[in-house]
Amino acid sequence: MEVVGLSSSIVLAADDPAVLAAFYAALLEAESTPGLGLFHWRVPWPAAGQLEIYVPSRTRPQPLKGGRLAPCLQRSSEGRDRLAVINAWLEVAEQLRAEQAEPPRQEPFGVDAWLLAPEGNRLLLLVS
């Protein structure tokens, strides 16, 4: 059976969707666009789909922190020093009000660093 009209996205609740959309758009080198309402923004997601950022319902609030689900933004080092690439990316993220949760770490698959995005959500940057 073929599914017609199916799409996917990642949803992120935010107190200030416009600011958080600008943050992710800058890290992804993309452009954020208004979404379906005044408090909804979209950022193109590299693998396809969208990152949907919205204000959660007041009648069904979302927890601010916790859980094990986090966006992972990944880029290739393209032959450059992986640590230098991630440090430059971290500098951009910190200028956009992100905080390092853990410093960059060399792993078998690349160099990664955990951040807290401007509203405290966990985010992983990975350079392979």
Give the number of domains in the chain: 2
Structural domain of 114: 70-128
Residue 52 has pLDDT above 70, yes or no: yes
Residues 33 and 76 placed together within one structural domain of the fold = no
Report how far residue 14's alpha carbon sits from residue 30's, in angstroms, rounded to the nearest whole number.
19
The enclosing domain of 105 has a CATH number of 3.10.180.10
Tell which residue, 77, 43, 51, 56, has the closest CA to residue 13. Answer: 56
Residues 42 and 84 placed together within one structural domain of the fold = no
Which region among 8-17, 26-35, 86-95, 116-125 has the lowest average model confidence (pLDDT)? 8-17
Residue 17 has pLDDT above 90, yes or no: yes
Residue 46 has pLDDT above 90, yes or no: no
Identify the pLDDT of residue 66. 62
pTM over 0.85: no
| In a domain? residue 64 | no
Q: What is the pLDDT of residues 53-87, one digit of tens each?
A: 777 666 655 566 666 678 888 888 989 999 999 99
The enclosing domain of 21 has a CATH number of 3.30.720.120
φ, ψ at 66 (rounded to 5°): 115, 180
